[in-house]
Structure 1
Amino acid sequence: MASIARTSAKVFYYARNVARDIVPQALFRRRLAVRLEKARICDEAACRRLNYYNKLQDGFAPSANAVRISKLPFTPTMYYYDLKEFARYFDPGLLVDIEFGDVRNVPKVPSIVKDRPIRDDDKNAVIMKLDKFRHFQMPADAIPFADKLPGVVWRGDLNNPIRKRFLQAVRDLPFCDVGSHKPNAPAEYAKPFLTIGQHQRYRYIVSLEGNDVATNLKWILSSKSLCLMPPPTYETWFAERHLEANVHYVPLAADFSDVAEHVAYFERHPAEADRIIAAANAYCRTFANEQTEQAISLLVLYKYFVLSGQIKPDAEVWRYITG
């Protein structure tokens, strides 16, 4: 159930992107050099981020399944628009391997993805900020931790065994308002839908991975509630691998037997909760500068096209990327 503000934002999102597709694309390509020049004066933190999202170092050739920029698949639509927002600055004949949707494994060839499993050999998964309208909503939270309800809340689809295991472990705890609002949820787990604002009334919000990353993680960490979750196993543009247990979130045991213990501890030590919440909020601010976000996105693609041998690098831009 979307709010009026959320619905309006979605309408604006589509209107803006449709307009970009209607405008002659050559206008964007003429601006590539200027956009790259602005991007390369970003700070070292931005450079580290672009090389984290795109870990490729050696040259490679696009696969036989690669598509031209001019022929990017239109569905899922938000993936198309989010990639096209930056791909349109490059020659429409350039080839790119892509995997839209939830990515459960590292691609066999260097490919643009929304997410990747957290593991060491992940360089073929080149992360772009895709499906960002859904994954990067971070609405304001005006309720201090101390003024929230002293309980635990979770809602979601039961599309991962970890979620059922969580519900089974905490269903009898009186301070837990947890369950699934989906029509196909078993009766014993069925709960009414809650908006983000309704979640934010609680001191403790649980984040659980589904098909890949947990969609609610970003807005929980940007709120004034405390995030409880198992360590992440997938990551997106949010770089979930960099989140630290007991720094940005409270880690939960695999069997969720420690939920009551954690709640009891932070009820006795609210200052500790505030410390973790402040660190989580600071982490979220990493993604708040839209100019920096756009610069990094453009450079991630630029690095991909250079290493795939499809464009010749500008010396200054490439020096910025490679250090």
Structure 2
Amino acid sequence: MVEAIDRLVAGLQRLGYYASGIARHAVPASWYSRWRDEIMVGLGNSPDVDLLFERANYYNRLTPGTLPLPQVPLSKIDRSRSRYFLDFDQYLRFFERDLRVDYIYGDVTTIPDKAAIVKSRPVGGDNQNSVLLNLDKFRHFRTFRDGISWDQKIPKVVWRGSLNNPLRRALVARHADSPFADVGHVGEVKEGLSPRPFLSPADQLSFRYILSIEGFDVATNLKWIMASGSVCLMPQSRFETWFMEGRLTPGHHFVAVRDDFADLEEKIDMLESSPDLAAEIVRNANAYFASFRDRRIERLVSLLVLQKYFEATDQLAPGPLSHRFFA
């Protein structure tokens, strides 16, 4: 019954996501342009102005002066990948159609050779050409209802996924039969490792501890784990998205484990013997996730990311607050 309700809720969320995207696209572009002007004029008096620019400058680290003109007019953005297009168009509609942008859809794990809007990028290093926007957010920012108390959760660690990188293969090879873990891949026998039955996010939330392991780029399950009542365990992030995975602190937002997962049992034992620590990590993770739930803040930061992009590529004149971009 619970799973049926969850499937119904997911279907309604998906319908709402596409319906709102189509409705936004039907509004005249001139209306969005006027709204953007009002937003930019009022930013200086916003009590959140420091937060807004701090986040925008984290996502967009471009500096003006030597950047080439992007290639694609906003009127020619690729619509074939609908979720990427709808998320991109949600904020591009605030800007003139003759402006140009470079972008890369999909799981981006390298740094482009020119300034481009991307969903994901390597953490740290010289990654300024990778300008983050919240793309494919229906997949990455979905959450699942967790009505299970800590005492009722299974005192084990769980993971399900595909064996698409060495980290995941190391986990399953080492801990497929560990008594404190229920970890395995789904699908077919692979590299001599037998698959495990599929577990939905709702199923996994019945465990106290959930592993988040990057796949082709970031781990899709990280956000819903951190929004739940279970503790997230993971190796340090190599990639980041709009969620700013590079800012997550081990021991505060999640419990760090080695890349070979040799210390996994040790970390589970530590958490089982320190329920107050586990509860604190859950609270911190929940608060971090909640900081992305204010739609007004998310819209303003997204617009600032694009405003900075167009100013840095010399397509828009600096505004009254542009010194906050390029100080």
Shorter chain as normaliser: what TM range?
over 0.9
Mapped partners of 2:324, 2:173: distance in 1: 51
Assess, with a 3 A threshold, how the Cα gap between structure 1 residues 8 and 62 changes in structure 2: closer, same or farther: farther
Q: Does 1:97 pair with 2:105?
A: no
User: In terms of mean alpha carbon deviation, does 121-130 or 184-193 score higher?
Assistant: 184-193
User: In terms of mean alpha carbon deviation, does 92-101 or 28-37 score higher?
Assistant: 28-37
Contact persistence 2:253–2:281 (CA under 8 A): yes
Aligned to 2:50: 44
Assess, with a 3 A threshold, how the Cα gap between structure 1 residues 300 and 111 changes in structure 2: closer, same or farther: same
Q: Give CA deviations for 1:135-156 in whole Å, capped at 9, x if unaligned.
A: 0113342323233111111111
Q: Give the CA deviation at 1:32.
A: 1.7
Q: Does 1:132 pair with 2:137?
A: yes
Mapped partners of 1:22, 1:164: distance in 2: 46
Contact persistence 2:63–2:326 (CA under 8 A): no
Q: Give CA deviations for 1:172-201 in whole Å, capped at 9, x if unaligned.
A: 112321112335757843122222221111
Unpaired segments ≥5 residues, structure 1:
none
Q: Give CA deviations for 1:240-267 in whole Å, capped at 9, x if unaligned.
A: 1111111111111121111111111211
Aligned to 2:153: 148
Count of aligned residue pairs for this structure pair = 321
Q: Does 1:57 pair with 2:59?
A: no
Q: Give the CA deviation at 1:38.
A: 4.2
Aligned to 1:10: 14
Q: Give CA deviations for 1:216-263 in whole Å, capped at 9, x if unaligned.
A: 001111111111110000000111111111111111112111111111
Q: Does 1:309 pair with 2:314?
A: yes
> Aligned match of 1:114 in 81, 106, 119?
119
Q: Does 1:159 pair with 2:164?
A: yes
Q: Give CA deviations for 1:92-125 in whole Å, capped at 9, x if unaligned.
A: 0101010111111111111101010012201110
Aligned to 2:288: 283
% identical equivalent positions: 38
Mapped partners of 1:51, 1:143: distance in 2: 38
Q: Give the CA deviation at 1:306.
A: 0.9
Aligned to 1:80: 85
> Aligned match of 2:183 in 178, 183, 208?
178
Aligned to 1:229: 234
Q: Does 1:208 pair with 2:213?
A: yes
Q: Give the CA deviation at 1:69.
A: 0.5
**Match for 2:51: what amino acid?**
A
**Match for 1:52: what amino acid?**
Y
TM normalised by structure 1 equals 0.93
Aligned to 2:33: 29
Q: The residue matched to 2:86 in structure 1 has which SS?
A: helix
User: In terms of mean alpha carbon deviation, does 131-140 or 22-31 score higher?
Assistant: 22-31
Mapped partners of 1:254, 1:131: distance in 2: 27
Assess, with a 3 A threshold, how the Cα gap between structure 1 residues 227 and 194 changes in structure 2: closer, same or farther: same
Contact persistence 2:64–2:314 (CA under 8 A): no
User: In terms of mean alpha carbon deviation, does 2-11 or 278-287 score higher?
Assistant: 2-11
Unpaired segments ≥5 residues, structure 2:
none
Q: The residue matched to 2:322 in structure 1 has which SS?
A: helix
Q: The residue matched to 2:233 in structure 1 has which SS?
A: strand
Contact persistence 2:172–2:185 (CA under 8 A): no
Contact persistence 1:76–1:101 (CA under 8 A): no
Q: Give the CA deviation at 1:63.
A: 4.9
Aligned to 2:279: 274
Q: Give the CA deviation at 1:39.
A: 4.4
Q: Give CA deviations for 1:55-102 in whole Å, capped at 9, x if unaligned.
A: 1122344456x2110100113211111111011111101010101111
Q: Give the CA deviation at 1:202.
A: 0.2
User: In terms of mean alpha carbon deviation, does 263-272 or 301-310 score higher?
Assistant: 263-272
Q: The residue matched to 1:98 in structure 2 has which SS?
A: coil
Mapped partners of 1:186, 1:238: distance in 2: 33
